[in-house]
Amino acid sequence: MATFTPPSGRQNLSRAIRFCAILISFLLLCCATTAFADFQIAVTNQWWSEASAKSISQSGTNQAEIVQALRDVPKSQRPGLQFLVENMPRQDLQSLSAAFLLENVAQAYESRDKAPWGKTIPDELFFNYVLPYANINEQREAWRKSLYEKCAPLVKDCKTPGEAAQRLNEKLFPLVKVKYSTQRKKADQSPSESIESGLASCTGLSILLIDACRSVGIPARLVGIPNWADNRGNHTWVEVWDTSWHFTGAAEPDPKGLDHTWFEADAAQATRDSKEHAIYATSFKKTDLPFPLVWAPDLDYISAINVTDNYTPKSKLKHIDKTRLLVKVLDRPAGNRITSKICITDPNDSAVHFEGTSRDEKFDSNDMLAFELLQSHTYKIQVQAGKHTLNHEFATSTNSQQMLVLDLAETATAFTIVTPQLKPKDQAKLKSALTDFFNASLEKQSGWKFDHSLETLLQKNEPAVRQIAWEAYRNADIHQDLKHDYEAKQVRFQKYLSPYTVKYVGQKPAHGWPLFIAMHGGGGTAKEVNDSQWKMMQGYYHDQSSVPGYIYVALRAPNDEWNGFYDDYVYPLVNNLIHQFLIFGETDPNKVFIMGYSHGGYGAFAIGPKMPDHFAAIHASAAAPTDGETSAKTLRNTPFAFMIGEKDDAYGRIERCRAFNETVKKLRGERTDIYPVTMEYQPGYGHGGLPDKDKIKDMYPFIRNPVPTELNWELTDGVIKNFFWLQVPQPAKKQEIQAACHNNRIVVTTTNITVASLLLDGRLIDFSRPVTVELNGHSSTCKLQPSLLTLCESLLERADCDLAFSTKMKLEF
């Protein structure tokens, strides 16, 4: 008989394991069969090209979305979606949803079907210039439906895409309340970003107009140039297709229709084979040429076509005797553009008469009133803006294009003042006496007396006497050491010595060379590093062919210390450098500029505010003010700009710059004619790579006013004794002097100062009338006389023709 024996515990475990193994094998077989079936279905349903499959392989974790879109797209719209997938940038492949792509494609096809011109648009153009959901690197968004709802009613009676594009350019921007502004948040704004803020750059405006055109079935593309031929900056505009490509400026419709813009003459100067000066059109279809994004130079995934030949004549006719003069009028130095009536005449030919209206802030920053004038010719210009009228003379250069920037504030002394000449006999006598004085010993000079007849000449014609005195000083045999250093390209103060390099750009203007002093980065580091930084600075700022000539000096710091460009020895050293070029370099004293990056920017932040009377304008990049060394108060009359990146937060740079900017705003108050100081905040940038290499062009129009009528001098060292027409012989920190001179009344307020002097002349006061001086609330009146000896002593001390004064009045405290 059989006997049942219960299984042991080990036998039970073994059977359980075998059962689980069989079950798992079965399940795996089922999954594999299902997966294979799905794979077969996918292969069977893969209607798209190998190029699309390659794009799918680059879509990363977003692969399912791209495949889903390809599976679900209606058969009639497959070619369009396939085109997009084949040409999409990698970041779009990895981020855009199936719903986004399907909606974009469906609405694009629908707009083409509804447009009267839809059937005339070839597939190739439709795919590349109607179907795409983006133009460049702007934020991706679903704009078609909302823009179609706004734009379709505007173009409902238009018969051609060109007519419709012109209508949209006229009507859309007022409808969505978007206008041009340099205050926009960023260049590459999407339509919703521009509409939300109401402000856009030429690029943002172009994106909005292109997407509006595409929403109603008009082929449109973005076109741009990285830099105009005269180096005054980049520009972006729009092309639309109507049997061929036609151009227009976004938000700048011309009454004459397409192919009429303010930049036609500029575009005609483009150079096809120059990466910087060629004209490019975007292409969603991939090409071997990247579209240059000035605001994002490292991005290379936007494809382009070189269309320069469409804008340039087959053979450029060079009018070698003509200059294209561009005129810009500002409300103050470094201020806002204003609308003014401009009239230009030829003083020697009454038949020559040009008129026009300058552009204000509504217009693109590169859009300027233009005139075709003879080269190397003198003209008169009249500027009328409200109650303000300016009348001046100016001379054109030999450049094919020249820019003239005028401002209505006091610092706009940008033109030649014609000085009546002395009689030859008087001139010879004066020159001889002045030459004797400047060549005399210090002992003899201290007791010198000029002939009374020469003093009379000064009273009658101070400008002419000043000029002759300057020439006598320049030619005196007292500058041997200075000349030695100039010829050796070095400058010194006491034990400190700085070499420099010199580059001449363009031709010398009639009033002398403008001088740009550039200071390098580095600082407290090895000599090799500072030498390398100095070498880089020698070509850092771009040469500017759009302006008359200038001298570019790259100054080496006198040491390798942290504060190499902002210590007490630096200010006399820079003064001596300017002195060299005024004496030997034929430099215009009212066109001296200083600028720097990082270490050099800190130098500009110190040198500029301490001695603004030396400069026409100052610029600092990637730097910040130094406590106790930089005072915003001294910049009342001098253009000063500082560029700082959003992410440049080391050593508190960005916060210091923001605080400095707030201080300037408080000092300026409600006035617009003082403190021409500008903070140039650069979103997304850190310490390096700031877009400042064309700063020479921006600074060039400024001209120093050596005798502003209002001064605010906060002293920050024990070195600098002169400030425009003020003098403190014992300077020290925590001293301050405020002064204003109007209508022969001078009001002076001081803090912690016991000795000071006023330096005056016919530019500030009328010597025929009494002068009232109010010092710290106490008034006195006196009669002043110009003195030739004082003028000469002032020249010896300041070494600057326009900072020499004929009267010195010591203040009694």
Q: Which residue has the tokens 């839809």?
A: 118
Residue 11 has pLDDT above 80, yes or no: no
Residue 23 has pLDDT above 70, yes or no: no
- What is the per-residue pLDDT for 229? 85
* Integer Cα distance of 208 and 447 in angstroms: 75
724 vs 361, more confident: 724
Check whether residue 359 and residue 340 sit in a common domain: yes
Residue 417 has pLDDT above 50, yes or no: no
Residue 790 lies in a domain: no
Band (pLDDT 50/70/90 cuts) for residue 18 is low
Band (pLDDT 50/70/90 cuts) for residue 320 is low
Band (pLDDT 50/70/90 cuts) for residue 398 is low
Residue 9 has pLDDT above 70, yes or no: no
- What is the per-residue pLDDT for 29? 45
- What is the per-residue pLDDT for 109? 98
pLDDT digits (tens, 9 = 90+) for 734-743: 999 999 999 8
Check whether residue 300 and residue 332 sit in a common domain: no
Q: Are 413 and 588 in contact (CB under 8 A)?
A: no
Residue 246 lies in a domain: yes
- What is the per-residue pLDDT for 413? 39
pLDDT digits (tens, 9 = 90+) for 330-387: 887 667 889 999 999 998 888 889 999 999 988 888 889 999 998 878 888 999 888 7
366 vs 437, more confident: 437
Q: Are 111 and 130 in contact (CB under 8 A)?
A: yes
Residue 418 has pLDDT above 50, yes or no: no
pTM here?
0.61
* Integer Cα distance of 288 and 301 in angstroms: 10
Check whether residue 456 and residue 490 sit in a common domain: no
Mean pLDDT of 774-791: 95
Residue 260 lies in a domain: yes
Residue 412 has pLDDT above 60, yes or no: no
Residue 778 lies in a domain: no
User: Which CATH number does the domain housing residue 368 bear?
Assistant: 2.60.40.10
Check whether residue 494 and residue 465 sit in a common domain: no
Average pLDDT, the chain: 90
Considering only 99-108, 223-232, 257-266, 313-322, which range has the smallest mean pLDDT?
313-322
Domain boundary among 661, 688, 703: 703
Residue 230 lies in a domain: yes
| C-alpha 769 chain-centroid distance | 46
Mean pLDDT of 560-586: 95
Of the candidates 595, 590, 528, the residue with the CA atom closest to the CA atom of residue 555: 595
Check whether residue 596 and residue 672 sit in a common domain: yes
pLDDT digits (tens, 9 = 90+) for 180-218: 998 888 999 999 999 999 999 999 999 999 999 999 999
- What is the per-residue pLDDT for 812? 81
Encode 10-49: b = buried (16+ Cβ within 10 Å), e = exposed: eeeeeeeeeeeeeeeeeeeeeeeeeeeeeeeeeeeeeebe
Mean pLDDT of 270-295: 94
Mean pLDDT of 68-94: 97
Check whether residue 531 and residue 557 sit in a common domain: yes
Residue 420 has pLDDT above 70, yes or no: no
421 vs 67, more confident: 67
Share of residues in the chain with pLDDT > 90 (%): 77
Q: Which residue has the tokens 């937060």?
A: 649
Check whether residue 187 and residue 292 sit in a common domain: yes
- Residue-range definition of the domain harbouring residue 602: 480-703
Residue 565 lies in a domain: yes
Backbone angles phi, psi at 803, to 5 degrees: -110, 20
User: Which CATH number does the domain housing residue 599 bear?
Assistant: 3.40.50.1820
- What is the per-residue pLDDT for 25? 52
**3-state SS class at 18:** helix
**3-state SS class at 382:** strand
* Integer Cα distance of 383 and 369 in angstroms: 12
Residue 756 lies in a domain: no
Residue 163 has pLDDT above 90, yes or no: yes
Backbone angles phi, psi at 109, to 5 degrees: -65, -40
Residue 44 has pLDDT above 70, yes or no: no
CA atoms within 13 A on the CB side of 127: 17
Check whether residue 255 and residue 304 sit in a common domain: yes
**3-state SS class at 165:** helix
Check whether residue 484 and residue 470 sit in a common domain: no
Mean pLDDT of 683-690: 93
Check whether residue 284 and residue 369 sit in a common domain: no
Check whether residue 469 and residue 496 sit in a common domain: no
Mean pLDDT of 483-492: 97
Domains held by the chain: number: 4
| C-alpha 595 chain-centroid distance | 14
Residue 298 lies in a domain: yes
Separate counts of helices (H) and strands (E) for the chain: 23, 31
Secondary structure percentages of the chain, helix, strand, coil, to 5? 35, 20, 40
End-to-end CA distance of the chain: 139
Q: Are 551 and 514 in contact (CB under 8 A)?
A: yes
Domain boundary among 310, 330, 349: 310
Instruction: Report in angstroms the alpha-carbon separations of 521 from 422, 518, 531, 597.
Output: 49, 10, 10, 6
Check whether residue 550 and residue 614 sit in a common domain: yes
Domain boundary among 651, 682, 703: 703
